Amino acid sequence: MRVNLLTDAPKHNLALMKISAYHKAQGDTIVLNEPMNPCDVSYGSYLFRRRDYTDFVGGPAVDPGVRLNGQFAGQLPDYDLFPGVDYSLGYTWEYCPRQCEFCCVPKQHPPRVHHSIREFHDPRFKKICLLNNNTFSDPRWRETFEEIWEAGLMVIDENGYDLRLMDGERAEALRRMRFFGYIHFAWDQMGDEEKVVEGLDCLKRVGFSSGRAMVYVLVGWPDYRPIDETDIYRCQRLVDLGWDPFVMVYRDFEKPLAKGQARQFKQFSRLVNRSWAWRSSLREAWEHYEP
């Protein structure tokens, strides 16, 4: 049987990697992202925009609550499906206790189930990418870290760590971990300032270097609101504390940005993400900004 797999994911798609592993075990032939290629069955998994020309379809852009069924869910991912993937990929903990309105995770109703990295780690790889939505909300988070340390793996951090849950033990664990590239944190809303600052202080107290981290600052939420004082304040506060902010613009893929909105967000992002140009006063730099 010939199986066609389709996705808009730029780097990898875990669901399709598991579906591919299942069908290859049945002796089927797999084709990736070739919609016009004749096939016996097709699966689509979409992150951003839905496409309807597949027999089976899922993903956050379709229905965040749809999950793989049993025959696929337990499969070791087919890492050969995406040639650029040279690391293990999976979840040890999908749940997140936050109910952020701008996030699709609450709509997915992720289970509160802990998994070992052995369920998806391929010994060929020396790197691992955890897709966890909030690792530190897992009561068994330390088991995950110890498995990674024991295997001598380097971590690729795509989703980041919750500063509001940071304490000395968690900070020390992050300091001890070997990361490939930056570690990611976030300050999405003004109401989280106290917890965010406390979390960053925990990291500094254990000698964690700010040069290893990037702190995302969400702007434009809700409804693509224009850049305001809260956006400027959060970025400036992070720089004053010795951390690098990185602007993340809220996106609603059902409601495209207007041209003028996109221009403002792009300009603000360019300015903030070059913090060396304004470290003393972002407000003044933004008021006098010329593209």
> For residue 103, what pLDDT band results from cuts at 50, 70 and 90?
confident
Distance CA 25, CA 41 (A): 16
In this predicted structure, which of 29-38, 125-134, 196-205 has the lowest mean pLDDT?
Answer: 29-38
CATH architecture of 86-182+189-194: 2-Layer Sandwich (3.30)
What pTM value is reported for the model? 0.90
Packing angle, helices 168-176 and 193-205, rounded to 10? 50
Q: Domain locations in the chain?
A: 1-70, 86-182+189-194, 209-291
290-to-232, 261, 263, 275, 285 alpha-carbon distances in Å:
17, 16, 12, 15, 9
pLDDT tens track for 52-89: 678 888 888 787 777 777 789 889 999 999 998 999 99
194: tokens are: 């106290």
pLDDT tens track for 238-284: 999 999 999 999 988 778 888 888 999 999 999 998 777 787 899 99
Give residue 146's pLDDT: 98
> What backbone phi and psi angles, to 5 degrees, belong to 238?
-65, -45
246: left (phi over 0), alpha (psi -120 to 50) or beta: beta
Give residue 145's pLDDT: 98
- Percent of the chain predicted with pLDDT > 70: 99
Give residue 86's pLDDT: 96
Report whether pLDDT(178) > 90. yes
Residue with the bigger pLDDT between 85 and 47: it is: 85
DSSP the chain: -EEEEEE--SS--HHHHHHHHHHHHTT-EEEES-TTS--SEEEEE-SSS----SSEEESTTT-TT----HHHHTSPP-TTSSTT--SEEE-S--------TT-SHHHH--------GGGT--TT-SEEEE--S-GGGSTTHHHHHHHHHHHTPEEEESS---GGG--HHHHHHHHHS-BSS-EEEEE--GGGHHHHHHHHHHHHHTT--GGGEEEEEEESTTTTPPP-HHHHHHHHHHHHTT--EEEEE---TTSPPPHHHHHHHHHHHHHHTTGGGTTT-HHHHHHT---
In this predicted structure, which of 21-30, 69-78, 197-206 has the lowest mean pLDDT?
Answer: 69-78
In this predicted structure, which of 122-131, 171-180, 276-285 has the lowest mean pLDDT?
Answer: 276-285
Q: Are 203 and 178 in contact (CB under 8 A)?
A: no
Give residue 105's pLDDT: 86
Distance CA 175, CA 24 (A): 40
> For residue 25, what pLDDT band results from cuts at 50, 70 and 90?
very high
Give residue 144's pLDDT: 98
